[in-house]
Amino acid sequence: MLHIINNFPLQGSFLENTHFGDTIMLKDDAVYALKKEHLGGLLQKSFAHFNLCVKKSDLLSRDLATHELIHGVSVLDDFDEPNEYHAHNIAFLSCN
């Protein structure tokens, strides 16, 4: 099952309706919850049982780098147009 969380700090009750192997997408300000410095050991162990993902645009707009996140978070590339890469000053290479 997919769970989408968009607020930070996380409410303790958000894990109540989750099951082993569920996917949790943290978006908007919720991406801050996946920073290494914000997670205690118990919550980080709880997250190990889920597929965690964030949108690349949420990281960029909050000036977060992937190395600041806990291990195992998937970053979803949600840019639709090459022009959006240019708007964010991202260099990219096409390997066609």
The CATH code of the domain that includes 27 is: 3.40.1260.10
Looking at residue 40, what is its pLDDT? 59
Q: Running DSSP on this structure, what letter comes out for residue 95?
A: -
Residue 93 covered by a domain? no
Range(s) of the domain holding residue 17: 2-87
Residue 92, token pair as written in the block: 């990219």
Residue 13 covered by a domain? yes
pTM of the predicted model over 0.75: no
Residue 96 covered by a domain? no
Q: What is the pLDDT of residues 27-68, one digit of tens each?
A: 998 898 888 776 655 566 667 778 889 999 999 999 999 888
Total domains in the fold of the chain: 1
Residue 36 covered by a domain? yes
CA angle 19, 30, 5 (to 5 degrees): 40
Residue 34 covered by a domain? yes
Residue 56 covered by a domain? yes
Residue listed under structure tokens 């996946």:
34
Residue 92 covered by a domain? no
